[in-house]
Structure 1
């Protein structure tokens, strides 16, 4: 994925040393339309990343001074050409450290949000940034492609928040907790 210019400039000064960066994850959900069969489930918009071939929600690094919800909107527009509206906070948590092929080490403080599409949401309307995205599509939340557990978790959180907003509490941390006896 394209490295933001401010990170390129930082790396000139600090080399591959670990960085903490703010990130945003946009979990874009399409709810079941009114009158749909009881067996119908929401769909989630996922992208297949060009850098590693993994399926994920839309993600991105916050620019300096940029709020995470603004990052989510910007990244959806840049990566797949869709306009989105941020509906709800799903959680905040640390991700990483991640070591990239060039030796850079980064950890992220990620803010995950449930979002909806504004306007046309058909795959034919997507305008993919081929430097960042190989493909994009809508998937039933019951039949998503293989992806990292963290992403499955926040897609589930997005559906839970959509269905029962009054009882939903944003997740604080993505770390798997051990069960106690």
Structure 2
């Protein structure tokens, strides 16, 4: 589902006013070394290539949200292994006028099972890409992927 029910309910009350939401980015990899691959999806709304992203439901643990989004959007089971980056994204306005700003939590995730497929209509493609030859992505998404691929044991924080 593109917009969670709780967001639709909030929108009934606040209209298009700015809504602060928590989002997750799941940087899912499988394999090792030069054979390491990244799970990539093509968004149905913009056509952009990205890692899996989504919104944390009220009361949901963020790592669980990342794992849920990967399964819902790409039909892949993954385990969130570590938080790699915390950042407040710029305010955005959707085509319908809704305004939102996200606290984005980027997780490095490990593939467990499943072959990528666009599972819920939010994406038109889901596939593995070599980490040594990634497809074109926005600078923002590329930075999220780089954080997820890095071996740094500590999360990055914007200041």
TM-score, normalised to structure 2, is: 0.92
Decide which moves more: 1-10 or 19-28. Answer: 1-10
Matched length: 159
Cα distance between partner residues in 2 of 1:26 and 1:61: 11
Unaligned runs of 5+ in 1: 34-39, 176-181
Structure 1 residue runs of 4 or more that deviate by more than 3 Å after TM superposition: none
Q: 1:150 aligns with which of 122, 129, 140?
A: 140
Name the CA shift for 1:126/1:139 in 2 (closer, same or farther; >3 Å).
closer
Within 1, Cα distance between the matches of 2:98 and 2:26?
Answer: 24
Q: Deviations over 1:104-141 (max 9, x none)?
A: 01000011000011124xxxx33422520100111122
Unaligned 5+ residue runs, structure 2? none
1:37 corresponds in structure 2 to none
The structure that has the greater radius of gyration is 1
Q: Equivalents in 2 of 1:151, 1:31: separation in Å?
A: 21
Q: Structure 1 residue 148: deviation in Å? A: 1.6
Q: TM-score, normalised by structure 1?
A: 0.81
Out of 125, 129, 139, the position equivalent to 1:139 is: 129
Deviations 1:18-57 (A, max 9, x none): 1110011100012326xxxxxx252211100111110111
Residues 5 and 130 from structure 1, CA distance in 2 versus in 1: closer, same or farther, beyond 3 angstroms?
closer
